[in-house]
Structure 1
Amino acid sequence: MSNFVLHIGISLLAGMVGGGIFFILIILSLSQIKPELRISRYIAKSVHQGVARYDFKIINCSSRRAVKNISVEFILIKNNESESGSGNSSAHILSGTDIYNSNISSLDKYNKHDKKAGYTGRVSTHLNLDELLATGNLSFQLSVTATDSFSGVTKVFVQTFSDKSLIKLGLHELGVSVNVSPQPNSSIQSVI
Structure 2
Amino acid sequence: MFLYELFFSVTTGFMGSLLVVLFLYRLKPKLDISPYIAEQPTHDSTPMFGFKIINRTPYPLVDIRIELVLVTPVNVNGGAVKSATALQLTRNDFFQLGKFDANDREADYALRVGCSQDIRSLWLSDTQDLRINVIARHSLSGFCAVKSYIFHTKADIKPGKHVFGNSLKVEPVD
Structure 2 length-normalised TM: 0.86
Aligned residue for 1:56, secondary structure, equals: strand
Quote the Cα distance in structure 1 between the aligned partners of 2:170 and 2:38. Answer: 6
Q: Select which of 136, 160, 166 maps to 1:170.
A: 160
The answer for the alignment partner of 1:55 in structure 2 is 50
Structure 1 residue 158 and structure 2 residue 152: aligned?
Answer: no
Structure 1 residue 72 and structure 2 residue 62: aligned?
Answer: no
Structure 1 length-normalised TM: 0.78
Aligned residue for 1:73, secondary structure, equals: strand
Aligned residue for 1:30, secondary structure, equals: helix
2:70–2:123: 8 Å Cα contact kept in structure 1? no
2:74–2:83: 8 Å Cα contact kept in structure 1? no
Cα deviation digits, residues 119-160 of structure 1 (max 9, x gap): 000121112111233432322200001122222221111111
* Higher relative strand content: 2
Q: Select which of 93, 108, 111 maps to 1:103.
A: 93
Distance 1:107 1:60, change over 3 A: same
The answer for the alignment partner of 2:86 in structure 1 is 94
> Aligned residues, how many?
173
Quote the Cα distance in structure 2 between the aligned partners of 1:17 and 1:105. Answer: 40
1:34–1:155: 8 Å Cα contact kept in structure 2? yes
Quote the Cα distance in structure 1 between the aligned partners of 2:102 and 2:92. Answer: 25
The answer for the alignment partner of 1:128 in structure 2 is 118
Q: CA deviation at 1:164?
A: 1.2
Gaps of 5+ in 2: none
Quote the Cα distance in structure 1 between the aligned partners of 2:119 and 2:134. Answer: 19
Residue identity (%) = 27
Structure 1 residue 45 and structure 2 residue 39: aligned?
Answer: yes
Q: CA deviation at 1:70?
A: 1.0
Q: CA deviation at 1:10?
A: 6.2
Quote the Cα distance in structure 2 between the aligned partners of 1:21 and 1:136. Answer: 51
- RMSD over aligned CA atoms reads 2.4
The residue type paired with residue 40 of structure 1 is S
The answer for the alignment partner of 1:188 in structure 2 is none
Gaps of 5+ in 1: 1-5, 185-192
